[in-house]
Amino acid sequence: MSLIVREGEFLCLVGPSGCGKTTLLRLVAGLIKPTSGEIFLDGRKIEGPDRDRGFVFQEYALFPWLTVKKNIEFGLEISSIERTKREAIAQKYIDLVELRGFEDRFPKELSGGMKQRVGIARAFANDPKLLLMDEPFGSLDAQTRNLMQGELLRIWEKEHKTVLFVTHSVDEAVYLADRVVVLSARPAKVKEVVKVGLARPRVRTSPEANRIRDMILKSLGAEIERAMK
Amino acid sequence: MAGFKIEKTLGVGVFLLVWEITARSKLLFHLGIIQMEKLAFPPTLSSVGEAFYLDLLNGTMVLSIGYSMIHLLIGLTGAVLLGIPLGILIGWSKRAECIIDPVVQILRPIPPLAWIPIAIIMLGLTHQAAGSIIFIGAFFPIVVNSYSGVRGTDLRLVEVAKTFGAKDMQILTRVVLPYATPMVTAGIRISLGVGWMCVVAAEMFGVSKYGLGWMVPYYSSIFMYNYVFAYMLTLGLIGYMMDTLFRRFESWKLRWRETI
């Protein structure tokens, strides 16, 4: 499989269950090594995990012993950024994800949506070149999910990081992405790349959005059936 | 357990009542369990209270508590300072585990008290000798728990740290160690209990001629059972208080934890 991601674009990956979307993301993150082939970021080969590729997990994976503020500062502490600067950056992102007032709470005191906001703030605060997101809203209820999508776009539009976003939901992909990559059933190949040229903020039910969604669903549907066999 | 006040007082009350009756009526003598008529066993509650009061007044009680605490402190400090790093080391490094763990596993089942003759030979009848017995007792729970804490680290959190560019040392200090803290703390609490029991035993054998554990066989040898019971009670109370205090500290330190 071969794929090129452009700088500053929001790319969504959709595909049937088990096709390897998460595996692909983890390969880019450097958490697993490819058995064949190579991945490059800005011309340099990826050998392992590093801070230029941030990751947001579906299960939040916050450090339970750290407060919201400390969680967000985590990456900055690793990079030895000095305290006043660290706190300023963290506060900026706390405000951005609208968690002001919760700085000193522990993850156990937060709702799912709030935890994921911390996870996103934590990843963004570290200023990676590439942001990898593995179904970050998968554990949330439908309402919170829609809200979070809007919030994510709001944050993203401030800095326009390159984002690789894996999701099961075609609705989500159409709402968020510049381009949607449809992956085939296992072993995953790039079946189709659909350009979503709509201006943001998008209307989920606009005729163009519907058209694009139907197109992707059809393409995806065929793969899901193949995966079932 | 809130409430049930009647039941709680009833249980303790009946126990104390039976005790007092048995003591005053010299029941055990009449039953043939005790041979000497003049022997005050079990001692009446008032005589125990009197013993407690008297030794408190003349300072013996406080002195004994002090010495026992010193022995505990010596042993516990050593166990914590040595045991935690060791446990973490064999948890973190497979190589270290293979080298060190077999020795640990061989020594661990040996009861601390069995080390008393060795402690006496090497350290004499000193406070250090008493402390060393406590050390043996407290050491292994701490090592085992620290090891488990490290091994049990949630790998996902390690991955998170890696995506932030953390390297090995940073992963150890910023993820593994904090994650292992609940286990390590539990290990220390267990060691506190085991250590306290070793204090008594070590002092009973006369490793050091002071302390609460020494008082029990001493007074027993001169048949003053009211004092024996008074010191046993003290031992229990102090052990209980230390455990309670430690649990409070533990709750505060680990307040971030989601528990059942």
Q: Which ipTM value was assigned to this complex?
A: 0.86
CA distance B9 to B19: 15
Q: How many other CB atoms are there within 10 angstroms of residue B225's CB atom?
A: 20
Bridge partner residues of A147 (DSSP) = none
**pLDDT on residue A44:** 87
Residue A166 backbone dihedrals phi, psi, to 5 degrees: -95, 135
Whether the predicted pLDDT of B2 surpasses 70? no
DSSP A62: -
Which among A57, A78, A107 has CB closest to B170? Answer: A78
**pLDDT on residue A59:** 87
Among candidate residues A33, A2, A9, the one with its CA nearest the CA of residue A164:
A9
Q: If contacts are CB pairs under 8 Å, which of residues 143-182 in chain A contact chain B?
A: none
Which among B166, B179, B255 has CB closest to A78? Answer: B166
Residue B62 backbone dihedrals phi, psi, to 5 degrees: -60, -40
Range of weakest confidence among B11-25, B75-89, B152-166:
B11-25
Q: b/e map of A215-224 (b: 16 or more CB within 10 Å)?
A: bbbebbeebe
Contact A51 B164 (CB under 8 A): yes
Q: What is the CATH number of domain A1-52+129-229?
A: 3.40.50.300
Pairing mode, strands A190-195 and A179-183? antiparallel
Which among A53, A63, A108 has CB closest to B163? Answer: A53
What would the pLDDT profile of B191-227 be if each residue is shown by its tens digit?
999 999 898 888 877 777 788 988 888 898 898 999 9
Contact A54 B164 (CB under 8 A): yes
Question: Could you state, in order of their start, the residue ranges of all structural domains in chain A?
Answer: 1-52+129-229, 63-127
Q: How many other CB atoms are there within 10 angstroms of residue B66's CB atom?
A: 14
The answer to whether A10 touches A160, Cβ cutoff 8 Å, is no
Residue B179, both tokens = 């994650």
Q: Is B125 left (phi over 0), alpha (psi -120 to 50) or beta?
A: beta
What would the pLDDT profile of A137-175 be if each residue is shown by its tens digit?
988 888 989 999 998 998 898 888 999 999 989 999 999
What would the pLDDT profile of B222-251 be if each residue is shown by its tens digit?
989 999 999 999 999 999 999 999 999 999
Could you tell me the pLDDT band of residue B4, with boundaries at 50, 70 and 90?
Answer: confident
- Alpha-helical (H) ranges within B38-112 are 45-57, 60-92, 94-107
- What are the angstrom distances between the C-alpha of A151 and each of A121, B210, B232? 11, 69, 65
CA distance B124 to B131: 12
Over residues B160-164, the mean pLDDT reads 93
Among candidate residues B190, B186, B78, B62, the one with its CA nearest the CA of residue B129:
B78
CA distance A9 to A12: 10
Interface contacts (A, B; CB < 8 Å):
64
Separation in Å, CA of B14 to nearest CA in chain A: 45
Q: Check if A117 contacts B (Cβ < 8 Å).
A: no
Amino acid identity, position A129: K
Residue B236 sits at the vertex; the CA angle it makes with B233 and B238, to the nearest 5 degrees, is 105
Say which residue the tokens 């994510």 belong to: A152
Could you tell me the pLDDT band of residue B1, with boundaries at 50, 70 and 90?
Answer: low
| List of domains in chain B | 42-252 (1.10.3720.10)
> What's chain A's average pLDDT?
90
Bridge partner residues of A193 (DSSP) = A181
Residues in chain B closer than 8 A to A75 (CB atoms)? 164-165
Q: Check if B163 contacts A (Cβ < 8 Å).
A: yes
Which among B157, B162, B181 has CB closest to A49? Answer: B162
What would the pLDDT profile of A165-210 be if each residue is shown by its tens digit?
999 899 999 999 999 999 988 888 888 898 888 888 888 889 999 9
Which among A61, A65, A78 has CB closest to B256? Answer: A65
Contact B161 A74 (CB under 8 A): yes
Q: How many other CB atoms are there within 10 angstroms of residue A182's CB atom?
A: 24
Residues in chain A closer than 8 A to B166 (CB atoms)? 78
Residue A169, both tokens = 């939901």
What would the pLDDT profile of A66-91 be if each residue is shown by its tens digit?
999 999 999 999 999 999 999 999 99
Contact A49 B165 (CB under 8 A): yes
Over residues B168-193, the mean pLDDT reads 94
pTM for the model: 0.82
The answer to whether A221 touches A175, Cβ cutoff 8 Å, is no
CA distance B111 to A72: 48
Contact A55 B163 (CB under 8 A): yes
